Amino acid sequence: MDIKQRIANKTALFAGVADEEVLGWLETPPSPDKGDIALPCFKLARSLRKAPPAIAVELAAEFAGFEGIVKAEPAGGYLNFFLDRGDEAKKTVLRVLREGMDFGSSKEGAGRNVCIDFSSINICKPFGVHHITTTVLGHSLARIFRHLGFTPVRINHLGDWGTQFGKMLVAYKKWGDREKIESAASPTRELVALYVRFHQEAENDPSLDDEARAAFRSIELHDPENWELYQWFKELTLKEAERVYKLLGVEFDSYNGEAFYEDKMPAVIKELQDKGVTTVDNGMTIVDLSAYDMPPCLILKSNGGTIYPTRDITAAIYRKNTYDFYKNLYVVAYQQNLHFRQVFKTLELMGYDWAKDCVHVNFGMISMQDMTFSTRKGNAIYLEDVLNKAIEKTKAIMQEKSPDLENADEVARQIGVGAVVWGPLYSSRIKDFTFSWDKALNFEGETAPYAQYTHARCCSVLRKAGGYDIEKADWSCLDNESCASLIKAVASLPDSVASAAEKYEPYLISRNVIEICSCFNKFYFENRIMDEDEGVKTARLALTDAARTAIKLGLYLVGIEAPERM
Ligand code: ARG
């Protein structure tokens, strides 16, 4: 049993209160010289009918000789516990070494599916740098939930339906060149250029819009030629997106996007009408949400066409029927807050009590410090370009720092990618975020390269030591400040993982990783790991090993790789 729990049990028994209550009162003293755990005794004043300082003195006597505690010291109204640090260190290190990459994992989610709708790119549009947050957050959440025993269902809800595909078709038929598009390094850039041209020309020639409407209608009717072209647009976009996903190590279980729900919507629209959830307003079918202070949720346009919310309502029902999800997450920017509130409310009005299990995991905006976005002009910043640039820059830095590194290309990819994805993973997701090259590629600051570097340092220490025999460890030597802080940082990783899952906030893990890294580096500079004393050396190596595993695991859970040398 964990030491806090044991302190709580004993105190509860003594004072005649509930142990969970005592557990909640335990604090961390303001500084390490005041001990490791503090009990505010005024909480017990009522049940014991005594002044807090007197209680502290009495309780201190009770804890004399208590296992795992070297000292219980009254300090005014507080009782401060000094843990047996060597013992704490031993327990934590052995646990990490035993559990390895399963450290802090659980079976909590066994048999439960968690749908995660993330990345969800749009066909024929740039895979822009603004897609980074949804992509890396969703990827990380999938890993976190899997660690806790859940089965994540990773869904790329493609934006592959709508009148824009009619425009695309018209533009391609008028000005497109199949060979040029197919042989281009980035076919979507060619498609986007055609799309931009369509809008330019349509300004002077409104008949183009009629053509586009007719073209989309023909896609809806699966006209063989146009359907084939539409599928080809999809293939081109996805093939290019795969390159980005591969760089990032991101995978999906389903690419069912908006088009997938086309034939499933009529039944849902009928259900909405039969249940009396919708009304007709100016020829449009809507869900009146004025009672909930929201504008109406549009279901059918006046021409009978379906739209974005119609497809999301249908998709949610499909996901419930297919995966019987425990949670259904949407990792989408906060600009769509209203959309998801409307969709979830509509599901609730349809009588689906599982609407409460649908969660919009929203996040803030990303901007680039050294570049400006201008999608209007068609010069969006492509995520692939940013990643490749980061990899190039990393390669240049590495050629200077470690010119003899084997598999330098692979390591440069791991570090370059880590540097780029770190930003949105290191702050509460709702915060807006500005990307800067200097910050991202800094090996000293609170960055992914810094964590990766610390991990590689642990690996190097262990490699040079050439192994150790854990039986020989003298745990009592791990009782100084720097050891204790490192142990504490490592031991808190499971709690960080649990909180990250509960709040859908991977940054709680990233912060813990950085804490482990800075503690490790302090430990590394203040303690001679290769001590002459075998017991001391072994204990320090084992602690290094535990730190290595915890860093690697933490990085893995936020989707970042940890090379052994760099
Ligand atoms: N494709 C949409 C966009 O880029 C995001 C889709 C999010 N998922 C959803 N089920 N609506 O804005």
Q: Report residue 557: phi and psi, to 5°.
A: -65, -20
Q: Whose CA is nearest to atom 1 of ligand 1?
A: 159
Contact 418, 449 (CB under 8 A): yes
Of 153, 310, 336, which is best to mutate to test ligand 1, by the most ligand atoms within 8 angstroms of its C-beta?
336
CB 332 less than 6 A from any atom of ligand 1: yes
CB 363 less than 6 A from any atom of ligand 1: no
Of 120, 131, 158, 329, which is best to mutate to test ligand 1, by the most ligand atoms within 8 angstroms of its C-beta?
120
Predicted confidence at residue 377, as pLDDT, reads 52
Q: What is the CATH number of the domain that holds 62?
A: 3.30.1360.70
CA angle 304, 309, 313 (to 5 degrees): 105
pLDDT band at 78 (very low <50, low <70, confident <90, very high): very high
CB 120 less than 6 A from any atom of ligand 1: yes
Q: End of a domain among 83, 109, 141?
A: 83
Q: What is the pLDDT of residues 180-228, one digit of tens each?
A: 999 999 999 999 999 999 999 999 999 999 999 999 999 999 999 999 9
What span, in angstroms and rounded, lies between the C-alpha atoms of 219 and 259?
A: 11
Average pLDDT for 533-537: 97
Q: How many CA atoms lie within 13 A of 214 on its CB side?
A: 6
Average pLDDT for 77-103: 96
**251 closest CA partner among 263, 241, 261:** 241
% the chain with pLDDT above 70: 98
Q: End of a domain among 83, 117, 148?
A: 83
Average pLDDT for 509-518: 98
Q: Whose CA is nearest to atom 4 of ligand 1?
A: 121
Domain annotation covers residue 294: no
Predicted confidence at residue 7, as pLDDT, reads 97
Average pLDDT for 257-280: 97
What span, in angstroms and rounded, lies between the C-alpha atoms of 562 and 565?
A: 9
Q: What is the pLDDT of residues 336-394, one digit of tens each?
A: 999 999 999 999 999 999 999 999 999 999 887 766 554 445 568 899 999 999 999 99
Indicate if the alpha-carbon torsion angle 490, 493, 495, 499 is positive or negative.
positive
What span, in angstroms and rounded, lies between the C-alpha atoms of 539 and 545?
A: 10
Number of domains present in the structure of the chain: 2
CB 312 less than 6 A from any atom of ligand 1: yes
Domain annotation covers residue 267: no
What span, in angstroms and rounded, lies between the C-alpha atoms of 211 and 209?
A: 5
Containing structural domain, residue 23: 2-83
Q: For residue 159, how far is its CA from the centre of ligand 1 (angstroms)?
A: 7
Predicted confidence at residue 371, as pLDDT, reads 63
CB 160 less than 6 A from any atom of ligand 1: no
Which residues touch 26 (CB under 8 Å, ≥6 apart)? 4, 7, 8, 37, 38, 39
Predicted confidence at residue 456, as pLDDT, reads 97
Ligand 1, residue 333: give the atom nearest the CA: 12
Average pLDDT for 49-73: 95
Per the prediction, the chain carries an average pLDDT of: 95
Q: What is the pLDDT of residues 132-168, one digit of tens each?
A: 999 999 999 999 999 999 999 999 999 999 999 999 9
Predicted confidence at residue 444, as pLDDT, reads 81
Domain annotation covers residue 242: no
Q: What is the CATH number of the domain that holds 434?
A: 1.10.730.10
* pTM value surpassing 0.85: yes
CB 36 less than 6 A from any atom of ligand 1: no
Predicted confidence at residue 372, as pLDDT, reads 54
Domain annotation covers residue 528: yes
Q: For residue 336, how far is its CA from the centre of ligand 1 (angstroms)?
A: 9
Ligand 1, residue 315: give the atom nearest the CA: 10
| pLDDT higher than 90, residue 440 | no
**SS3 breakdown of the chain: % helix, strand, coil, rounded to 5?**
60, 10, 30
Token duo for residue 135: 């992509």
Which residues touch 378 (CB under 8 Å, ≥6 apart)? 192, 193, 196
Domain annotation covers residue 36: yes
Domain annotation covers residue 127: no
Domain annotation covers residue 422: yes
Alpha-helix runs per DSSP H in 206-307: 207-220, 224-248, 265-274
Indicate if the alpha-carbon torsion angle 250, 251, 254, 257 is positive or negative.
positive
CA 407 to chain centre: 28
Of 135, 153, 157, which is best to mutate to test ligand 1, by the most ligand atoms within 8 angstroms of its C-beta?
157
Q: Whose CA is nearest to atom 6 of ligand 1?
A: 120
Q: Let me know how many helices (H) and strands (E) the chain has, helices first.
A: 22, 12
| pLDDT higher than 60, residue 421 | yes
Q: For residue 52, how far is its CA from the centre of ligand 1 (angstroms)?
A: 57
Ramachandran quadrant class, 324 (left: phi over 0; alpha: psi -120 to 50; beta: rest): left
Domain annotation covers residue 497: yes
Q: End of a domain among 37, 53, 83?
A: 83
